[in-house]
Amino acid sequence: MNIEHLADTLLQLVEQASQIAISTHRESDGDGMVAAFALQYYLKCIGRKSTIISDGEDLGRYFFLKEDREVIPYSPDCSFDLVIVVDCNSYDRLGARVDLVRNAKQVVVIDHHVIEHNPIQAQLSFIDSTYASVGAVLYAAFAQKLPALSSAQQRYFAECVYVTLLNDTNGFVNANTDEKVFELAASLVRHGTQVNHLYMDFMQNHTAGEMKYIGATLATIELVEDQQILLMHSAYALKQQCEVDPETFKQATRYVQGVKGLKAIVYFREDQPGEWKLSFRSLEIDVQKIASKYGGGGHRQASGCQISGSLTEIKKMLTEDLKKAIAGL
Ligand SMILES: [Mn+2]
C-alpha cells in the first residue's frame, strides 16, 4: 500500500461501513489517542460518524483539543463493522479490545511501529516505521484532501498532528527527530498551529500536585556503583499526599535522562503498597534483558517490569544485576 492511496482506500471502506470505530493501543498516549481524534474529526468533517473506543483511560489531559469527540470505553457488547486501529499493529497491545478487532467485518491498521509478534489481521494495513508518529502518517495520507476543509477545520487537524509529533519525539529531541519531522512541523504551522500553546498545554501540563510529586521523587536520587547508576523512587504515601495518579502524567525519568556519567537509571514507583513498577533507562547496557528477567520487557534503552516487596531488597537485587551488566560492557 502506497501512502498516496491510503486515504482513498480507507475512505472507500468508511463509505461501505455503517458502524465505524477507531481505537489504539492500551495505555494510550498523545500519538495514538490524538491521531484517533484527528481521524475522527476528519471523518466528521466529511459527514461520517465514528466512535473512539478507549480502554477507559482518563482523557482530561487533552482538554486543550476542544472539539467535541465521541469516545466510549470498551465493553464486551461494543460491536462495529469497521474498526480502524492506529499506532498499534499487534493483538498483544489491544488489551480487552482484542475482541472488538477480531469481531469486526473490516479492520484497518495504520501504524509506524516495527511489526513484532501477533500482528493484527487486517483488510487494509499501512505500517511504515520511517514516520515519527502515526499522526504524521495520517497527515501524509490526508494532506491532499485538507484544502477541501475550512481553514479552522484544517487547523484543528494540524494541531492534533502536531501533538502526535510532540509526543513521539518528546518535544523534538528524540533520535527520530529528523528533517522530515521539521518539514512536517513547518506545514502544520502554516495551517495556523499555535506551537507555544500546544507545548505548554501538552508537554508542561502538570498540576501543582504533580510537580510536587515529581520534585519529591527527584529528591530521592541516589548514585551507586561509582556514581554510574542513578536510583530514585516514589512511595505510595507520596501519591496519596500529593493526591495524584502517576499513571496519567509523564514520569519523572524524563528529568534525569541527561545526568552526566550515568550507565543506567532505575525509577521505582509504588503504585499499590508493596507493588513497585520499575522503569529502566540506559544508553549502553541492555536493560531489556534485566526487565525480562522479572517478567517485564521493552527496548534495549528503555524497559520496565513490576516487582513486589521491600524497596531496600529490590534496590539491592537490581543494583547487583546492573553491576553485572556494566562489568560485561
Ligand atoms: Mn506512536
Are 213 and 195 contained in the same domain?
A: no
- Nearest partner of 86 among 44, 46, 54, judged by Cα: 54
Closest by CA position to 28, among listed 120, 94, 105: 94
Q: How far is the CA of 112 from the centre of ligand 1 (A)?
A: 6
**What span, in angstroms and rounded, lies between the C-alpha atoms of 109 and 120?**
8
Question: 182 and 156: one domain?
Answer: yes
Q: How many Å apart are CA 238 and CA 14, to the nearest integer?
A: 47
Query: pLDDT tens, 253-273?
Result: 989 988 999 999 999 999 999
Residue 88 CA to ligand 1 centre (angstroms)? 8
Give distance in angstroms: CA of 235 to centre of ligand 1: 30
Q: Where a domain ends, among 178, 203, 228?
A: 203
Pair type for strands 302-308 and 297-298: antiparallel
Out of 170, 203, 236, a domain closes at 203
Kindly report the three-state secondary structure assignment for every residue of 74-100: CCCCCCCCEEEEECCCEHHHCHHHHHH
- Cβ contacts of 280 within 8 Å, gap of 6 or more: 264, 265, 266, 287, 290, 291, 298, 302, 303, 304
User: How far is the centre of ligand 1, averaged over its atoms, from the C-alpha of 254 (Å)?
Assistant: 17
195 shares its domain with 316 = no
Is residue 11 domain-shared with residue 121, that is, in the same domain? yes
Do 22 and 166 fall into the same domain?
Answer: yes
pLDDT digits (tens, 9 = 90+) for 48-98: 999 999 999 989 899 999 888 999 999 999 889 999 999 999 999 999 999
Nearest to 7 by CA among 142, 110, 129: 142
Q: Determine the Cα–Cα distance for residues 236 and 34; give it in Å rounded to an integer.
A: 30
Domain boundary among 149, 171, 203: 203
Cα(326) to centroid(ligand 1), Å? 31
Range in 52-56, 104-108, 283-287, 317-321 the model is least confident about: 283-287
Ligand 1: distance of its center to the CA of 172 in Å? 14
Please give the Cα distance from 101 to 45 (Å, whole number).
25
Give the Å distance between the CA of 134 and the centre of ligand 1. Answer: 5
- Span from the CA of 312 to the centroid of ligand 1 (angstroms): 35
- pLDDT tens, position by position, 232-244: 999 999 999 999 9
Structurally, the chain folds into a number of domains equal to: 2
| Cα separation, 97 vs 303, whole angstroms | 24
User: Distance, CA 87 to ligand 1 centroid (Å)?
Assistant: 5
C-beta atoms surrounding 170 within 10 Å:
16
- Name residues whose C-beta falls within 8 Å of residue 90's C-beta, 6 or more positions apart in sequence: 115, 116, 117, 118, 119, 120
Q: How far is the CA of 143 from the centre of ligand 1 (A)?
A: 19
Domain that holds residue 89: 3-203
Same domain as 127, residue 243? no
Cell (9 digits) for 305: 517490569
Q: Quickly list DSSP for 145-179.
A: TGGGS-HHHHHHHHHHHHHHHHHHHTTTTSTT--H
State the pTM of this model.
0.84
CA of 113 from ligand 1 middle (Å) equals 7
Instruction: Say how many Å lie between the CA of residue 162 and the centre of ligand 1.
Output: 12
- Measure 51 CA to ligand 1 centroid, in angstroms: 20
Distance (Å) from CA 168 to ligand 1 centroid? 6
CATH number of the domain at 156, please.
3.90.1640.10
Rounded to the nearest whole angstrom, what is the distance from the C-alpha of residue 272 to the centroid of ligand 1?
28
* Cα–Cα dist 222/283, whole Å: 19
- Mean pLDDT for the stretch of residues 126-154: 97
